[in-house]
Structure 1
Amino acid sequence: MTVLASSILRLDANWVDYLLIALYFVFVLGIGLSARASVSSSIDFFLSGRSLPAWVTGLAFISANLGAVEIMGMSANGAQYGMATFHYYWIGAIPAMLFLGVVMMPFYYGSKVRSVPEFMLRRFGPEAHLVNSVSFALAQILIAGVNLYLLATIVNALLGWNIWLSTVVAAVIVLSYITLGGLSAAIYNEVLQFFVIVAALLPLTLLALNKIGGWGGLQDKMASAGTGGDLNAWPGTTITTYSSSFWSVVGIVFGLGFVLSFGYWTTNFVEVQRAMASKDMNSARRAPIIGSFPKMFIPFIIIIPGIIAAALVTPLAQMKHSGAATGAGGVTYNDSLLLLMKQLLPNGLLGVAIAGLLAAFMAGMAANISAFNTVMSYDIWQTYIQKDKPDGFYTAFGRGATVVATALAIGTSYFASQFPNMMTYLQTLFGFFNAPLFATFILGMFWKRMTATAGWTGLVSGTLAAVLVAFLSEDAFGSASTGALHIGGQGASFAAAGAAFVVDLVVSVLVTLVTQPRKESELRGLVYSLTPKEDLHDEHADHWWLAPTKLAGVSLVLVVILNIAFH
C-alpha cells in the first residue's frame, strides 16, 4: 500500500471511536480470562470439554470463517465482479455446511476423535494422517499470515500506526486470549465478534443504499455506467473469466460449489473443531446447520457495500470504467469497504466499524491458531514424538504451540503481502490443501474397500495436480504470466481444485485395486455402510428446529429461493 493510498484511506477517528475500540479489546481479553477458569484438561483447552450449546458453536462456526479475507476479499470481489460473488455463499458454502451437519458430523463426533486428521489416522493409518497433519498445519500458518497482514495494513491506513507495530500488537492480543482460555476463549470471542461485525456492517450497508437511492437507484447508476450486467449472478463469467457461459456455470457448480466448497466446509478442522466442541451429537449436527442461516444473509452486508462502493466512490468507478487494476492514489478494489466507510460513516459509527474490522481479522486468525495448536499437540507431537505423557504436558505444549504459531504467522504475513488479490491467494491454498483431502475423505467414507496406501498416495497426487494446474494457469497467483492453460482470475483456483479432486479419486481407486484393504470389523464408525444407523442419526426432537435433517431442509429451501430471486 503506497503512502498516497494510505492518506486517501485515513479515517478521521476521534476520541469516541478510540474509546469504543478500547472497550471492545477489554471485552476480548476479559473473555480470555474468564475462560481460563474452565480449563483443567487438554480436552477443555483444545475442544472446550465438548460442553457448548449448538447456538454458540453454530455462530462460532460462521465467525471463524468471517475473517479478514472474507470481509475485505468479498467486498472487493463485489466491487470488481458484482453479484456473481454471491456464489461463494449460496453455491460455495450452504450445501456443504448442510452436508456436514446431516452426513459427516455423526462420524466426527460419534467416533470421539479430537481432530479431523485423527479421523484420517483411524481410517487410513499413519501415512495419510501425517500427510494431512503437516499440510493442514502449514495451511493454517499461511492463512493466519493473511489475516495478520490485512489487519496491519488496514490499521496503518486507517489510523496511521506503524505497519509492523500493528502486526505485533494484533498478534499479541490474539495470542493472549487463546493461551489463557484455549478454544472456549476463541469460540466465545467469535460469538462476540459475530455481533460486532454485524453491528459494524449493517449500518454501513443501509447508509450506502440510502445514499444511492435504494436498489432501484443502484440499478440505474450501474446501467448508466454500463455495468448493469454485474447485478446478474449467472452465468458468472466475470468471476471465472471463462469465455463460455456453459463452462463458467460448470466451473462454479463443480469447481466452487462441489470441490472447493465441500473440501473446505466438511474437512477443514478450523470449522469442524467448532462443531466438535458441542455438548452432544444433536448439537454437533445442528451447529453447521444453524450457522447456515446467518451465512446465507451475510453477503448482503459484505458484497452489496462493495458493489455500491464501485458505483459511488470516484476512484473505484473510474477503475471499473477503464478496467485498470489500480485507481487514483494507488487504491485497489481491496480498499472498497474502507473508502465507503470514509465517505459515509460519522464518528461513533466509525468506531464501531473499525472495531468490526478488527474483530473480523482476529476471529479469522484465532480460528487458524486454535486449530493449529490442536493438530500440532495431538496429531503430531503426541502421536509421533512424545507419546504417553501426562495430560497436562499436552495442554502446556498446546500453549507453547500457540506462541510459535503466532510468531510464524507474523513471518508468513510477508508472503501474503506479495499477492494483490487475497481471494485468489486463499482459493489457491484451498485447492492445494482441501480439495484433495475432500476426495480422500468422501471416497474412504463411502467405499469400504479403499486402502490405507490409497489414502496417502491419493492425497499427495491430488495436491501435486493442484500445484501443477495453478502454475500453468495465467494469473493463478495474482501476477501476470503466460501460463500454458491461460486461465485467469479465480477461475484458475476452480480449475486447480477440480484437477486435485479428479486426480486424487483416480489414483486412490487404482492404488486400492492393487493393495490390501482392512478388515471390515475395524471400520465401524469410519465407513457409512459398516456403521449402524442408530450411530448416525439423532432426530429424536420435540420441535422441527431441534431435528438436524428438518432444520437443514428449511435452510436448503431458503437458499434455493435466494438463488432464484437474485439470479
Structure 2
Amino acid sequence: MPLATSLRLDASWVDYLLVAVYFLFVLGIGVMARRSVSSSLDFFLSGRSLPAWVTGLAFISANLGAVEIMGMSANGAEFGMPTFHYYWIGAIPAMLFLAVVMMPFYYGSGVRSVPEFMLRRFGPAAHLVNSISFAVAQVLIAGVNLYLLATIVNVLLGWNIWVSTLVAAVIVLSYITLGGLSAAIYNEVLQFFVIVAALLPLTVVALQKVGGWGGLKEKMAHAGTTDQLSSWPGNSLTQFSSDVWSSVGIVLGLGFVLSFGYWTTNFVEVQRAMASKDMNSARRAPVIGSFPKMFIPFIIILPGMMAAVVVPELAKFKAHGGTGGGLTYNDSLLLLMRDLLPNGLLGIAIAGLLAAFMAGMAANISAFNTVMSYDIWQTYVQKHKPDHFYTVFGRWATVVATILAIGTTILAKEFNNIMGYLQTLFGFFNAPLFATFILGMFWKRMTSAAGWVGLVSGTIAAVVVAVLSHDGLGTLSVGVGWFDHLKGQGASFVAAGAAFVVDILLSVLVTFVTRSKPEEELRGLVYSLTPKADIADEHVGSWWQSPTRLAGVSLVLVIILNVIFH
C-alpha cells in the first residue's frame, strides 16, 4: 500500500471545522496586534512591553515547532529514552544559564538582536559573518518546517503538496506582516496550548493501548530493544560502541556545545525574552519556559516509543533496521494518530501539528526579518532612513524569507530522521557562535579580529567533519577513514565539538597577535568590566519573582527527573 494512502486520515467535517476555527483565531490575533505597531521597535521587538509569562511560553513555543515534534517523536521511535537527553541535558541547563548569566548583557546593553551584541563586542567583521550565517540558518530551518507541513497535510488530508504549502505560508505571512513580533508571540502562546491539547490525549490513548508503562517495557523487551528504556549511556543515540565515549558525547557534544550554542546565542529564542517589559521579566522568561520544557518529552518522545511497538508496519520497519516499506521514523506520530484517534480528537491533533509548523516557521521568519532589517540593511546598506522605512523593509523581508524557504525544502528530503539534519545545522551555526560569545564575554583581552576568525574557522571545521563522516550531511557525506565511524546524530555532536575547539584555539592565537579594544568600550559587554549590580537579581519580594531562585527550583526538578529515568 502506498505510504500516502496508508497514512490518510478519515477526517470528518468536525475535524475540518476545528482546524478552520483555529486559523480564524490565528489571523484575528494578527489583526489585533497590528494596532500596536507604530514603530520598528514595536514590529521587531513588541516595543519591549510583554510580561514574563507571555515571553516565557513564547520562548518554548518558538522551539516547539513541527521540526521538534516530528523529529523528537522520530527519535523516540528510533532511539527510545536516550532522546530525553535533548531536554534534560541538552536544553534546561543552557536555558537557566541564559537567564542567570547572559540575559543581563543582552537586555542591559539595549541591543536589538544577538548579532548587534556581536557588533558592539567584536566590530563589523564578526557582526557581518554572524548576521549572514544566522540569516542563512533561519531560511534553511524554515524550509524544514515547510517541508514537514507539506508532507503532513498531503498524507493526512490528501491536499496537493504545493497547495498545502502555499496556504499555510500565506497564513504565517499574514499575521507576521500585520502584527510583527507581537502577533508571532501571542500566536505562539496560543499554539503552545493547542499543541499540548493535541498531544496529551494521543499520549493517554496510546498508553492505554500499550498497557501502561509496564506494557511498554514488556513489548520493547519482546522486540529486543530493552536497552532503549534507559537514558544512559545512550549508545543508540550517539552510535558510539563505547559506553564512556557515548556519555562523554552526550554531556559535552549535546549538553554543552550544541545546547549552550543553541539556547544562549540563537536569536530565535533570545528575541522572545528581549521582548519582555523589563530586566527581571527578560531573565525570568527562559526560566518560566524551562518548567513546561522538562515535561514536554512525555507527550512527544513517549508517543514515538509507543508507536514503534503499537503500529505494525513501524514495528516491522524498526525490526529491519529502519529500511524498507516506504516508511521513515518521521512518520511515527502520524501513524499513531491514524490508528488511535477518533474524529474530533483527530481535528485537534491536525490543528496541533499545523500549529507546530506555524510556531516554528514564524519564529524563524520573525528573527530573520529583524536581523535582515537592523543588522544588514540598516547597518551596511541604507543607514539613515526614517524608522518607518525599516518596518516596511521588515515586512518585505518576511515575504522573501518565505519564498527562499520553499526552495530549501529539497535539502530536508535527504534525511531519514529530520533531527539529524537539524543538529547538523546547529553544529555549523550555533556551536562556533557560542565559543566566540563565551570567550568574548569572560575574556576582555579577546580582540575583534579573533571574533570573526573564530566564527569562520569553527564553521568550516564543523562542515569538514560532517562531510567526511558517514552520514552527517546525508548523501553529501563521503565517509573517509576514521570519520566514517561517525554515524547518526553522534556525527553532529562531534562536528559541533570540532567547531567549538577550533574556534577557541584560533581565537586565542589571533588575540595574542592583534590589539584588543579599550576597556571603556567593553563595559556592559564583558563580565569583569560590568558593575555587579547590573547582573544581580533585582530586589523582589517572592521567590518566584527572583530569576536565580526560580532557576534553582528548575535545576533541582530536572536533576530529579534524570535520576528517576536514568
TM-score interval for Structure 1 and Structure 2 normalised by the shorter chain = over 0.9
386, 400, 408: which one aligns with 1:412: 408
Pairing of 1:70-469 with structure 2 (within 5 A):
70-327=68-325, 330-469=326-465
Structure 1 contact 478–489 (Cα < 8 Å) conserved: no
What CA distance in whole angstroms lies between the structure 2 residues aligned with 1:144 and 1:151?
A: 11
Structure 2 contact 467–479 (Cα < 8 Å) conserved: no
SS of the counterpart of 2:80?
helix
Instruction: Show structure 1 runs of 4+ deviating over 6 A.
Output: none
TM-score with structure 2 setting the length: 0.99
* Displacement of 1:388: 1.1
Matched, 1:483 2:492: no
37, 40, 44: which one aligns with 2:38: 40
Letter in 2 for 1:437: L
How many residues are paired up?
A: 563
TM-score with structure 1 setting the length: 0.98
Structure 1 contact 281–538 (Cα < 8 Å) conserved: no
Structure 1 contact 171–410 (Cα < 8 Å) conserved: no
Letter in 1 for 2:202: L
What CA distance in whole angstroms lies between the structure 2 residues aligned with 1:333 and 1:446?
A: 42
Q: Could you list the runs of 5+ residues in structure 2 that have no partner in the other structure?
A: none
Aligned-pair identity (%):
79
For residues 355-378 of structure 1, what are the alpha-carbon distances to aligned partners after superposition, in whole Å with 9 as ceiling and x for unaligned? 000000010000000000000000
SS of the counterpart of 1:279?
coil
* Displacement of 1:65: 0.3
What CA distance in whole angstroms lies between the structure 1 residues aligned with 2:103 and 2:56?
A: 13
Structure 2 contact 265–430 (Cα < 8 Å) conserved: yes
Aligned to 1:514: 513
What CA distance in whole angstroms lies between the structure 2 residues aligned with 1:237 and 1:313?
A: 24
What CA distance in whole angstroms lies between the structure 1 residues aligned with 2:216 and 2:284?
A: 37
For residues 114-170 of structure 1, what are the alpha-carbon distances to aligned partners after superposition, in whole Å with 9 as ceiling and x for unaligned? 000000000000000000000000000000000001000100000000111111111
Matched, 1:531 2:530: yes
For residues 286-329 of structure 1, what are the alpha-carbon distances to aligned partners after superposition, in whole Å with 9 as ceiling and x for unaligned? 000000000000000000000000010001111222213243xx
Letter in 2 for 1:391: D
What CA distance in whole angstroms lies between the structure 1 residues aligned with 2:379 and 2:323?
A: 48
What CA distance in whole angstroms lies between the structure 2 residues aligned with 1:200 and 1:326?
A: 30
**RMSD of aligned alpha carbons:** 0.9
Structure 2 contact 81–231 (Cα < 8 Å) conserved: yes
Structure 1 contact 96–266 (Cα < 8 Å) conserved: yes
Aligned to 2:559: 560
Aligned to 1:544: 543
What CA distance in whole angstroms lies between the structure 2 residues aligned with 1:368 and 1:482?
A: 32
For residues 188-246 of structure 1, what are the alpha-carbon distances to aligned partners after superposition, in whole Å with 9 as ceiling and x for unaligned? 00000000000000000000001111101111111122111111100000010001110
What CA distance in whole angstroms lies between the structure 2 residues aligned with 1:110 and 1:118?
A: 13
SS of the counterpart of 1:490?
helix
For residues 67-92 of structure 1, what are the alpha-carbon distances to aligned partners after superposition, in whole Å with 9 as ceiling and x for unaligned? 11100000000001000000000000
Structure 2 contact 543–550 (Cα < 8 Å) conserved: yes
Q: Could you list the runs of 5+ residues in structure 1 that have no partner in the other structure?
A: none
What CA distance in whole angstroms lies between the structure 2 residues aligned with 1:471 and 1:478?
A: 9
* Displacement of 1:410: 1.1
What CA distance in whole angstroms lies between the structure 1 residues aligned with 2:324 and 2:558?
A: 35
Structure 1 contact 196–352 (Cα < 8 Å) conserved: yes
What CA distance in whole angstroms lies between the structure 1 residues aligned with 2:504 and 2:263?
A: 19
Q: Which moved more, 1:124-133 or 1:408-417?
A: 408-417
What CA distance in whole angstroms lies between the structure 2 residues aligned with 1:355 and 1:326?
A: 30
